[in-house]
A = this chain, B = another copy of it.
Amino acid sequence: MIPVERAQMAMVLEVTAYPKPGNVDRCHDYEGTRLEHFLASAILVRPALERAAGCSGGIGEILREAVRLTTAHGGGNTHFGAFILLIPLLRGGDIPGAVRAVQDSTVEDAVSFYLAFSLTKVRMLPKDPLDVADPRALDVIRERRMTLLDVMDHSKEHDMVAREWVNGFRLTRKAADHLHRAGCGREGVVETFLWLLSTEIDTFIVKEHGMPVAGEVRLRAAEVLGGSGDLAAFDAECIARGINPGSTADIIIAAIYIALGEGWEWDCSRKE
């Protein structure tokens, strides 16, 4: 499987894994965002992924293309956070390569990222001078000569995906390692998803619902993993309350991409 296909498979395997608390999966859609939107995104983003894996274009501009290719449908932003991780991983080939790729990012990458961002409905923190909704943000980036890595550094406190850029893709690496231990296929993905949710606060939940809810979700995930909580009930409650661990999903996608390249098997029937 070539790297671009590993990235597409990672998106497909994450979204179809179930039962998975709160997110779109085989058995759940959100109003306006369905499983099909995620699968279409995984197919339609391919030209941008090919440019990332090749030597054509800057990371920021490719990210903008990825968003443009995948927001033509009505399902809103589906894989924006995943693209932020996958594009440097594809450019660099592996995690050390991705670290070099993000260090090479430029002010132009940051500008393109903001233009991509404005195509999505993703929110930054209120009253942030780099708020994407504020047209002066682009001026701030240019005046301060901020690279895309600087922008991610600015966002790292409140965004676990941005944090990956700054800390050497630490959670991506840890989750890929966990996936190898958890075993093949869908069951391995679900186990790794729950493990990450139980060990890290999901910053997307913090943005949408506040820290107490995010902390509660982490605790509930730990209870399910420890055997004292019920996964189906946890899932149903997340869905009912609109609690969607979207950043955890983004990191799981990056982890599946890495693990597939290291021999992790998505297809348990091939191992038998």
Contact = CB atoms under 8 A, between A and B. Distances in A.
A112 interface: no
Nearest to A185: B36
A206 to B, nearest CB: 27
Interface residues of A, number: 32
A40 B269 contact: no
Interface in A1-21: 1, 5, 8-9, 12-13, 16
A186 interface: yes
Interface string A195-226: 00000000000000000000000000000000
A266 interface: yes
Interface centre among A12, A13, A37 (most CB of B within 10 A): A12
A35 B12 CA distance: 10
A39 interface: yes
Given A12-B36, A185-B36, A75 B269 contact: yes
B267 A74 contact: yes
A221 to B, nearest CB: 23
Given A5-B46, A74-B271, 5 more contacts: A12-B40, A39-B39, A40-B266, A42-B43, A73-B267
